[in-house]
Structure 1
Amino acid sequence: MNGRKRWAKPAGLLPCLLALMLFGSVAVHAATADQRPLSHYLREVWTTREGLPHNLVNGIAQTEEGYLWFATWEGAVSYNGRDFRLFGRDELPEMPDEGYRAVIAARDGGVWLGSSRGGIARVQRGQWEFLSTKQGLSHNEVMALLEASDGSLWIGYQFGGVDRRHPDGRVEHFAVAQGLPSPLVNALHEDADGRIWIATGTGLAVFDHNEISQVGAERGLPAGAVFAVHSQDDRLLVGGEFGLVVSNGGSFASFNPSLDGIAIQRILRDRHGTVWAGATHRGLYRLRADGGVDYFGEALGLPNQRVASLFEDREHSLWVGTSGGLMRLREGPFVNVRQAQGLADDYVRSVLPASNGELWIGSSTGLVRMRGNQAEQVGPLMSVLTLAELDGGELLIGTYLQGVMRWANGMVQPFLDSAGGLPSNQVRTLLSDAQDRIWIGTTRGLLLLDGAEQTVFDARHGLPREYVLTLHQDRDGRIWAGTDKGLAWFNEDTRRFEHVALIDGAESVFGIAEDADGAFWLASDRGVIYRRGDGLARIGYAHGLPVEKLFQIVLDQQGHIWISSNRGVIRLERASAKALVDGRVERLDAQHFTELDGMASAQCNGGSSPSAALLHDGRLAFSTALGLSLVDPAALDAFQPVPPPVAIERVMVDDRRVRTGERASIVVPPGSRRIEFSFAGLSFLRPETITYRYRLDGFDRNWVESSNRMSAEFTSLPPGRYQFRVSAALRRGLPYGSEASVQVQVLPFWWQRPITWFAAAAVGVLLVLLLVRYRHQQQKSARQVLERLVDERTEALREQTERLVVADRDRESLLTQLREQSEAFERQAREDPLTGLANRRAFDEWLRREFARFQRLHQPLCLAVLDLDHFKRINDCFSHSAGDQALQALAQVLQEKCRTMDLAARFGGEEFALILPNSDIEEAHQLAERLRSEIAAIDCGEFAAGETLTASFGVASAEGCTDEAMLVRRADQALYEAKRSGRDRVCVWQSELPKS
């Protein structure tokens, strides 16, 4: 099933309430985790639209392996972060019932499930076991499950009390007669002392020292149904129809008066010690350590007000099962200020921290000032692009259509527009310099306002173009302007701008940040441009940047560079970036933040300034298409991800599923053609970004990077023992986690077994001995006959024999010489002398023959054409001898890794071809990928030190080809596409490929 998720959106909440919740953290850092406003939690929702079989999730658990399990009315569901897998009667006909009320993780790594009328089920390594009244249980209608510390399993029933199932299978039953208040059991809980608390339909009971006793009014517990019990240190929390009560070993008391009378159905204590309480019809509550209560309901995105289950996974996400679907809440490094929290509009264009500690936010419909916990919309409706503070706290506001406005004395009034000399009313950037001059950058030029004097600068005054995007005054007082056609600085003596040429095709300069040493970091349309003195260096895709079109650069207080873009926020370590531009390293580890990290939108806005800023408290603010995103660099360590575990979910042999068993091993029958391994990284934070690597020990020399592909295929493995290993990382560039592995034994045919070889060798030796013995007897008889004639014709026979021997030797010598010459001529005609591979003539004959066989027998046929990338560079930089050795090394890989039925040929120059009989396009693709990896692993140290050999492959199938020439053209087209797409890759022919 599809496990895609949709983002929950808050709706209908009072803006002033949310403003208080969110702006409190804008001004002040949260002291503890439970003070983080609930509106800052990342929210994701899954329903039947995303793959759940039913919207009501009754129970949630996580196995030791890492899977999440959900109990629903339409079956049990396991979840790997991407796909829901449903277990119901269609897949398991022996399953008594599909309606599940409870699920818990077993101590042995499996899962216990409780159904509404089918007893319990145990799942261990994919094997299901069902237990009901037929196996000794008291009832089949299960409500709750608990695996106690002594190994016993407690089972609570709907109207049948509770069972205690011992590890040896014995079952003890407890009902009203044994002391329960009611036969209806809602929940089970074990405290730190090993006592079992039993929540029933009319009260609470405890099992201690093999006896059940009721807990009620004598200890202050209100009358009514009890739904949940949780022990925390020395406290006992009890939720029921009456609300939430707490006991510190003595009498119960109300936890918080605001919860009195609210039926609490579920209680959870998270890793911070914060208690969460889910109500039957009133949503979710967070009980803070300071005694306060925070409410989370449908207005903040909860799918439904009925909370049926609560669970915290190993990555510290809170899962909430409701009647309307499943929600996941988690903390992220980014929080957002949006219209619901008091902004004039979600489309934020600029942000400015004022000198007095206030924060100004400009959006497409207005201006907002944040003072402490208060957000205030200032001025009329206007599209704000840029902001600048003047001495005295006054504010200049650059707009999209109204020129420049000024905020002063609590009022916004017009300051300057095109009627007053402004080149354009669209103002993109503002600067108040150290000389109290005002610089106004518009889409039609730059205006300098020096007192009452106005000066307009355009292309005639040295600006690369009139479209001014950003302005900056450096530590020496020099004014810099970034335009959509380059960078320039203002010469005070000539009153002109001096153009600074950029590098590598960079044109637009969207942002300028100055380092402590006076160096510039420029955000451009071709990555980061670093300028120190008159020297320039560029950081782009090739150096690890995920995006090259950048908007704003901010330097934080922790030694990092933060960059905004249309595809999220990027963080670089400043020292590493300087090492790269100095040539000391080749790549950077760029940390990329998107919606997965809490941003409401990864689309940051640019083309106006400042669109990002360092706030007074050390945090950073970024203008985005969905509000203002805030991040605290000092708190990022709390969100550093750990590598995810990985599980091998399925092994297929020739499209048949094979179970790995407890020893994680499989045996592959002789003659099997294809083995497929499916795997999943079990992380629920960023499942879309998980990347994998795998290796088949005994076959692969190196790890194979499979990006986010969750399967690996191997074809025609020779008999032997192998080990498949796989590991996962949260995203490319992060470390890989622990490995999962499967032992693989490929069985041989009987004639491939060593004992068969030994037997055949023994029989051969015996036949030779018998032949020798026979010849010996024959020679002995002939010798006896010859001895009778030796006296008569000894001399004549000797002479004749000598003549015959000489003649025979001469004839054999002549025949041998003629045969060797013939074979040499034949090889020269059909073999490439440099590589030892077939030449073009042999290739044409072989392809013609194989294509005829393909047309006659309709057996698959594929052709792969490969070309050694940048071969000319080896010849030019080293020698033609080095080039020959490179071709020979590549030919050796082809000879070693191709099957005996395949033909490897040198097509010409550095181009080679592979004829692959009996191979479909998937098998040919896999072979080409492995050959590409093997070529990349060739050690060039002996002939081209420092070089790496790579090859581009074009693969085509004979299907649909009218003749062999058409097959060659298709393979050439695929090779051309592989070259055009960047080399060092395999491209399979498709009809939409451009013609080469």
Structure 2
Amino acid sequence: MRLLLAILLLTLLPLLSAERQTPMVRLWQSEDGLPGNVVRSIVQSADGYLWVATAEGIACFDGVEFDTIEPDGELRRFRFAFWRLFAPEDGSVWVTTFQGGLFRIQDGRLERVVHEAPRPRPPLINQLILDRSGIIHFRRGEEIWKLEKGTTVLVEAPSDELKELFARDHEKQTAGGRAVETGTGWKVSELHTKDGRRWAPDETGRLVIDGEVPVDLPGVASPYVFNELLEDREGNVWVATPVSGLARVRRSRVEPLSISEGPSQPTTFAIMQDRAGTWWIANRRGGVDRWSGDQLEHLNLVTTGYQRPVSTMFEDRDGVLWVASRGGSVFSRREDGTFMQRFGRTQIPSKVRTIQQDGDGVVWFGGEQGLASYDGTAVKEHREDCGLPKCDVTVLVRNGKDLVAATSDGRVFTGGSKGFRMVGDPAPLKHWWISGLLPVASDELWATTLGGGLFLWNGKAWRQFAADDGVPDLRLTCILNDDRGQLWFGSLGGILRASRQELLDRARKQERPLHWLRLDRSDGLPSRECIGGYHPAGWKGHDGRLWFPTGSGVVRVRPDLVEVNKVQPPVYLRSTRINGVQQEEHEGKIEAGPGRSRVEFRFVGLSYSAPEKVTYRARLEGLDDSWRELGSQRVAAYEAVPPGRYTFEVLAVNGDGVWSKQAARVSIHIKPHFWESAWFLLSVAALTIAGTATIAWYVARRRMKQRIQALKIRNARESERTRIARDLHDDLGASLTEISILSALAAEGGDESAMRPALDQLSNKAKAVVGTLDEIVWAVNPREDTLRSLVDYLAAFAREFLDTASIALRTDIPRNVPETPLDATVRHGVFLAAREALNNLVKHSKATQARLAVQLDDSNLEIRIEDNGRGFSQEWEAKGYGVANLRERMKAAGGDCSIASVSGQGVTVILTLPLLAAPSSPT
């Protein structure tokens, strides 16, 4: 028995709930694009479009625009009295006339199938069905006809199965909102909707729901006449009127408080309900309105003077109502119902935005001057010493024994009389004005902001929910929990709703789905803007309803009656234009071009509950890397699309966040110009490669010739150097040697005392010439271009030179010096530098001993020349001493020179030559 009662209750609950919902009506007339206000029939085809038959023509309606259907060919000359529309399951659409004619709507045109009867009151086609074999049958008067191979054929003996199909169709029309013919005449239209409601005229002719809830049309006197009723797939009911146009009736998901029973001034700032059930409403007028459901009373805060608007209201645990005026003082309500000012005008607290009470009964005030508390006897300010820097407090809520305070610059604090601490790093909140707080647990605190969206404190960090998470409007004014798993938000763009669990899942993983519901004017809101900046900016009543203040009064929402439109909106491509020319599809493909083109797509998503809230996302695959969010825009255009193959896809989402089941798509091939074609590009590429190869071959061949020529020149130069060395040695050397010998012999005879000085001088000069000549020969001889030759020649020269100067020489030279190639210029330069150092040693050092040391490693040659002479000071170095010459010679050879000396302790000259970095000989 209990089970039966439970089942009965569950069955009746939707009906009982539906009775409490106010129907919301919208009317379309000729100024909205309807062909005419005399609407005779309405039908929804299999693809989801709504079709309307009027006295002025047929139109296809997508929820926003009416597309008029024109007769085809010669039929345009005639005027037809259209009567009734039919939409069988095969997706076709048919229309009949009062003259008994039948037309099919094909590709946006009317095609005649059955001619009108040329006589008064002809039999009408009042039924059209599709049998199980897919053949169209229609009833004309008492006759049954079928459409076979484009022609109409009378069915002489209809089968029982066919009769049964017509009988079922008659029952469907009877309950589906159409007037049907009976034996006694035409029965008035009535509609039985899927949720069990009955729409029918009452005894006065007024359209009512279940005989109780009237359906009034805006601007139309009641009762009014209607021709047909239709329930679409989303549960909307459409009314075809013979005078007033087309009307849509849907349930209002928001219930506005009428002016007669609601606040005395439309613009409402804050609202709350006390424990006794009385509602307190603050509005622009100033003071507060006390509303008990059947009586409205306005109360002023002050008896005289300017009545400031109220910024916040709060009822403490003793039932005392606290009220603060905007930018003014704090008041409390006396037992006699009047208000008294509790603190002086210059006393803290003042300019209060929010009031709250902690677990100890202390009342807290937050506002422009920070945070203050009142324990019943004294007021205490809470500032830096309590962990609260200077701030403008906008929201105060209680979280267990603690308080949570939020500020206008995006900071959140928690604590109490013993002090406060900041909740997390405020950087993610980016100085947003925090408009609402909802503490759920120690690791779950929700905060709404005016401009930054929603934030969640998870115990470790703040997580933002913004446009990337689908938040319809980031200007949130409050947050409410309906205790049914949903969070509700007031915003400047309507009332929003999201699943708390989906929000938590999204905070853990960004890819988790998150659905938002937005209620606005299409759902019954008198104004989309929920007022923010005051407190409370939203309230959950004792009966579970949610109350929101708006710019046009107070609205209420019953969370249990707000249903999501789960019908997936079909989306269709209306047209494709390339360079301004509309294209025709062939098997879902379009070809255009040649060359870069402007491509424009027009599309529509069908959702008749709130067509203005349908949004779209699209992409041109092959050009777009990701989907483009288009909002409510029903056009997507792409400029200068290059030649290629593309696929355009578009999806629609209805106002409740439900996406299309599948995308509408079309393939496009933009042809290239001949110079952009593949064969042309390949030909150009082949020619380019061939030309490049030819040029590369020519350049390589020329370089090879240049290298051969350079080698020839180098060989000739080396041959010439060899010849010079040979001639100098064989001819000049021999001659000078002979002079030296003859001079020596001459010195041995004659007057010895007179000839000896001259002959000695001649001999010495000849020896010097021989030495110089030998040095030149050594320098230019390519066979001596080795490291070993340099070291050997330098050692021999040093011994001979210092021996002449009577200076003892000690050498330290490696035995096995490698035959490393050494450029002649480098070799000669190093030798000249070493010779300069030896010459300075002989001329200036007054040394008795010298040391020549040669050190080799893999990359460097080091020649060290030391003496035990008198050395030199820095002034001597500045005067000369050959230092500059040494460094210049070594630099020219690619090496370096360093000289160290201490006065009286000799000189050390170090010549360093990088072997691997030695410059190559010039060509």
TM range (shorter): 0.5 to 0.7
Contact 1:119 1:141 (8 Å CA) reproduced: no
- Hey, what's the Cα distance between the residues in 2 that align with 1:375 and 1:91? 67
- Hey, what's the Cα distance between the residues in 1 that align with 2:591 and 2:695? 53
Matched, 1:351 2:303: no
Alignment of 1:326-475 (within 5 A): 326-331=246-251, 333-357=253-277, 359-365=279-285, 367=288, 374=294, 376-377=296-297, 379=299, 383-400=309-326, 403-406=329-332, 412-416=337-341, 419=344, 427-444=352-369, 448-455=373-380, 467-475=392-400
Structure 1 residue aligned with 2:606: 682
Structure 1 residue aligned with 2:548: 622
User: Cα gap change, 1:671/1:138 in structure 2, threshold over 3 Å: closer, same or farther?
Assistant: farther
Matched, 1:730 2:662: no
Structure 1 residue runs of 5 or longer lacking an equivalent are 1-28, 156-160, 175-188, 207-213, 216-225, 230-238, 240-265, 762-812, 824-996
Please give the secondary structure, in 1, of the residue aligned with 2:698. helix
CA offsets 1:132-151 (integer angstroms, 9 cap, x no match): 546x6866989774324654
- What letter matches 1:276 in structure 2? W
- Hey, what's the Cα distance between the residues in 2 that align with 1:718 and 1:446? 66
Structure 2 residue aligned with 1:181: none
- Hey, what's the Cα distance between the residues in 2 that align with 1:462 and 1:815? 80
Structure 2 residue aligned with 1:146: 127
- Count of residue pairs brought into register by the alignment: 652
User: Cα gap change, 1:514/1:822 in structure 2, threshold over 3 Å: closer, same or farther?
Assistant: farther
Contact 2:25 2:247 (8 Å CA) reproduced: yes
Contact 1:344 1:367 (8 Å CA) reproduced: no
CA offsets 1:510-567 (integer angstroms, 9 cap, x no match): 2222112364322234333444557544444455444434322223424443332222
Structure 2 residue aligned with 1:767: none
User: Cα gap change, 1:285/1:141 in structure 2, threshold over 3 Å: closer, same or farther?
Assistant: farther
User: Cα gap change, 1:749/1:588 in structure 2, threshold over 3 Å: closer, same or farther?
Assistant: closer
- Hey, what's the Cα distance between the residues in 1 that align with 2:383 and 2:538? 27
- What letter matches 1:528 in structure 2? L
- Hey, what's the Cα distance between the residues in 2 that align with 1:571 and 1:90? 49
User: Cα gap change, 1:408/1:751 in structure 2, threshold over 3 Å: closer, same or farther?
Assistant: closer
Contact 2:329 2:345 (8 Å CA) reproduced: no
- What letter matches 1:613 in structure 2? W
Structure 2 residue aligned with 1:978: none
Matched, 1:307 2:226: yes
- Hey, what's the Cα distance between the residues in 2 that align with 1:605 and 1:618? 21
- Hey, what's the Cα distance between the residues in 1 that align with 2:535 and 2:207? 41
Contact 2:104 2:110 (8 Å CA) reproduced: yes
Q: CA deviation at 1:333?
A: 4.1
Contact 2:70 2:109 (8 Å CA) reproduced: no
- Hey, what's the Cα distance between the residues in 1 that align with 2:173 and 2:443? 67
Contact 1:405 1:412 (8 Å CA) reproduced: no
User: Cα gap change, 1:513/1:99 in structure 2, threshold over 3 Å: closer, same or farther?
Assistant: same
Alignment of 1:261-280 (within 5 A): 266-278=189-201
- Hey, what's the Cα distance between the residues in 2 that align with 1:140 and 1:130? 20
Structure 2 residue aligned with 1:43: 25
Task: State percent identity of aligned pairs.
Answer: 23
- Hey, what's the Cα distance between the residues in 1 that align with 2:295 and 2:524? 22
Alignment of 1:67-106 (within 5 A): 67-88=49-70, 94=76, 96-97=78-79, 99-106=81-88
Cα RMSD for the two superposed structures: 5.0
Q: CA deviation at 1:123?
A: 0.5
Structure 1 residue aligned with 2:436: 511
Q: CA deviation at 1:332?
A: 5.1
**Structure 2 residue corresponding to 1:528, chosen from 447, 454, 462:** 454
Contact 2:329 2:350 (8 Å CA) reproduced: yes
- Hey, what's the Cα distance between the residues in 2 that align with 1:732 and 1:276? 26
- Hey, what's the Cα distance between the residues in 2 that align with 1:313 and 1:54? 21
CA offsets 1:106-165 (integer angstroms, 9 cap, x no match): 34312222345693321034342124546x68669897743246543245xxxxx77654
Structure 1 residue aligned with 2:48: 66
Contact 1:298 1:304 (8 Å CA) reproduced: no
Report the structure number with the largest CA radius of gyration.
Answer: 2
- Hey, what's the Cα distance between the residues in 2 that align with 1:478 and 1:32? 41
TM-score, normalized by length of structure 2? 0.59
- Hey, what's the Cα distance between the residues in 2 that align with 1:461 and 1:572? 37
Structure 2 residue aligned with 1:892: none
- Hey, what's the Cα distance between the residues in 2 that align with 1:35 and 1:733? 24
Structure 1 residue aligned with 2:147: 167
- Hey, what's the Cα distance between the residues in 1 that align with 2:674 and 2:421? 85
- Hey, what's the Cα distance between the residues in 2 that align with 1:649 and 1:727? 13
Structure 2 residue aligned with 1:861: none
Structure 2 residue aligned with 1:645: 570
Please give the secondary structure, in 2, of the residue aligned with 1:817. helix
- Hey, what's the Cα distance between the residues in 1 that align with 2:298 and 2:350? 20
Matched, 1:295 2:214: yes
- What letter matches 2:32 in structure 1? E
- Hey, what's the Cα distance between the residues in 1 that align with 2:266 and 2:70? 45
Alignment of 1:553-568 (within 5 A): 553-568=479-494
CA offsets 1:930-951 (integer angstroms, 9 cap, x no match): xxxxxxxxxxxxxxxxxxxxxx
Q: CA deviation at 1:713?
A: 6.0
Structure 1 residue aligned with 2:208: 285
Please give the secondary structure, in 1, of the residue aligned with 2:338. strand
Please give the secondary structure, in 2, of the residue aligned with 1:319. strand
**Structure 2 residue corresponding to 1:129, chosen from 98, 108, 111:** 111
- What letter matches 1:293 in structure 2? E
**Structure 2 residue corresponding to 1:818, chosen from 688, 698, 713:** 698
Contact 2:573 2:664 (8 Å CA) reproduced: yes
TM-score, normalized by length of structure 1? 0.55
- Hey, what's the Cα distance between the residues in 2 that align with 1:517 and 1:449? 26
Structure 2 residue aligned with 1:109: 91
Contact 1:133 1:139 (8 Å CA) reproduced: no
Alignment of 1:188-203 (within 5 A): 192=168
Contact 2:565 2:658 (8 Å CA) reproduced: no
Q: CA deviation at 1:317?
A: 1.1
Contact 1:62 1:69 (8 Å CA) reproduced: yes
Please give the secondary structure, in 2, of the residue aligned with 1:688. helix
User: Cα gap change, 1:426/1:300 in structure 2, threshold over 3 Å: closer, same or farther?
Assistant: farther
Q: CA deviation at 1:80?
A: 1.5
Matched, 1:610 2:591: no
Structure 2 residue aligned with 1:589: 514
Structure 2 residue aligned with 1:809: none
- Hey, what's the Cα distance between the residues in 2 that align with 1:719 and 1:454? 76
Q: CA deviation at 1:444?
A: 5.0
Alignment of 1:834-849 (within 5 A): none
- Hey, what's the Cα distance between the residues in 2 that align with 1:814 and 1:404? 95
User: Cα gap change, 1:420/1:658 in structure 2, threshold over 3 Å: closer, same or farther?
Assistant: closer
Contact 1:120 1:142 (8 Å CA) reproduced: no
CA offsets 1:966-989 (integer angstroms, 9 cap, x no match): xxxxxxxxxxxxxxxxxxxxxxxx
Please give the secondary structure, in 1, of the residue aligned with 2:697. helix
User: Cα gap change, 1:658/1:392 in structure 2, threshold over 3 Å: closer, same or farther?
Assistant: same
Structure 2 residue runs of 5 or longer lacking an equivalent are 1-10, 157-164, 302-306, 684-692, 704-923
Please give the secondary structure, in 2, of the residue aligned with 1:737. coil
